Amino acid sequence: MAAVQPLPSALDRAREVLTVESRAVAQLAERLDARFLRAVELLLGCRGRVVVSGVGKSGHIGRKIAATLASTGTPALFVHAGEAAHGDLGMVTQDDVFIGLSYSGTTAELLTIVPVIKREGTPLVAITGNAASELARHADVHLDVRVDKEACPLNLAPTTSTTAMLALGDALAIACLDARGFGKDDYARSHPGGALGRRLLLRVADVMRSGERVPRVPVAASVMEAVHEISVKQMSMTAVVEADGRLAGIFTDGDLRRLLEQVGDVRQVALAGVFNRSPLVIGPQALAVEAAQLLDSRHRNQLLVVDAGQRLVGALHVQDLMAAKVI
């Protein structure tokens, strides 16, 4: 077994790998032409699913390409070419578009199923490094990902070639995303469990406190009644509402401290003359992330939620946003 090289040599090799692969991707970008546009047209016009297939390292890249397409607005799935030849090809229809990945263009498993795909009338996009290969010749569109050399010093292990395939798959996915006008809201809907999904899909109504959990007292209440409500509901404030439910204002812990400094004994003080009549408010259908931004910009920890008629419908504390992982 060969001796392990010292660390500086490993760094040199790593830099060489990255240089070789980045150069190959740059050369691929320069070679893109009308065939790439034709492939994008086929994907955009697909009435079924984009079926991506390959074997070995190309198969692994194919799985990633299918996942990227699916998450960016182009319904796609991966089918292993070997499994396709033993029954899974039944899921491919003429409404689909088939993308076959093989750097050599001679992968036996893919070539076995190509006649069936062609007979079905399913458009075939081949991604290979050999324009003269059988797979490329049978394709409706051939995308050339040839590279000068693999990053492997033996020029054997698929490295640069798989990087080029992956980059081309990303280019196809993003070109389709752009053409479809696929936006942040669309992306969030396909990623509901992620941080972006939470930020773009959660509404204030989804995370606010409502019903009996909302601290509230009438305008006619005393300061001591307000203090009791603040203590019970534990939001460091209470909303002040009119008889018809419309929001009149807010009374906070901070307001109480300032009042104590001014008058001392507040047991006989009416709330009407001391609460804040310009509370921070937001609507229930606003995005939760907007509520977070509002609180941050105003250096507050809580805000009240009102409907179009200014009736109190909820309350939101910064801790609620943290619990929902919006911030």
Interval 300-312: pLDDT, tens: 999 999 999 999 9
Summarised one tens digit per residue, pLDDT across range 117-161 is 888 899 999 999 999 999 999 999 999 999 999 998 888 788 999
Residues 6 or more apart whose CB falls under 8 angstroms from that of 107 comprise 54, 55, 58, 81, 135
pLDDT at residue 71 is higher than 90: no
DSSP 143-155: EE---S--SSTTS
Q: What is the pLDDT of residue 2?
A: 58
Whole-number Å distance between alpha carbons of 74 and 141: 18
Whole-number Å distance between alpha carbons of 60 and 66: 10
Share of the chain above pLDDT 70, in %: 90
End-to-end CA distance of the chain: 52
pLDDT level of residue 209 (50, 70, 90 thresholds): very high
Share of the chain above pLDDT 90, in %: 67
- Retrieve residue 322's tokens: 């943290």
Summarised one tens digit per residue, pLDDT across range 154-177 is 887 889 999 999 999 999 999 999
Q: What is the pLDDT of residue 86?
A: 61
Q: What is the pLDDT of residue 312?
A: 96
pLDDT level of residue 37 (50, 70, 90 thresholds): very high
pLDDT at residue 103 is higher than 60: yes
pLDDT level of residue 15 (50, 70, 90 thresholds): very high
Q: Is the backbone of residue 320 left (phi > 0), alpha (psi -120 to 50) or beta? A: alpha
Whole-number Å distance between alpha carbons of 187 and 263: 55
Summarised one tens digit per residue, pLDDT across range 214-260 is 999 999 999 999 999 999 999 999 999 999 999 999 999 998 999 88
Q: Which of 161, 55, 51 is nearest to 101 (CA)?
A: 55
Q: What is the pLDDT of residue 194?
A: 54
DSSP 251-305: EEHHHHHHHHHHHS--TT-BGGGTSBSS--EE-TTSBHHHHHHHHHHHT-SEEEE
Q: Could you tell me the residue ranges of all domains in the chain?
A: 11-182, 204-323
What is the reported pTM? 0.64
Q: What is the pLDDT of residue 264?
A: 83
- What is the assigned CATH class of domain 11-182? alpha beta
Average predicted confidence (pLDDT) for the chain: 89
In this predicted model, which residue has the larger pLDDT, 91 or 26? 26
Tell me which CATH code domain 204-323 carries.
3.10.580.10
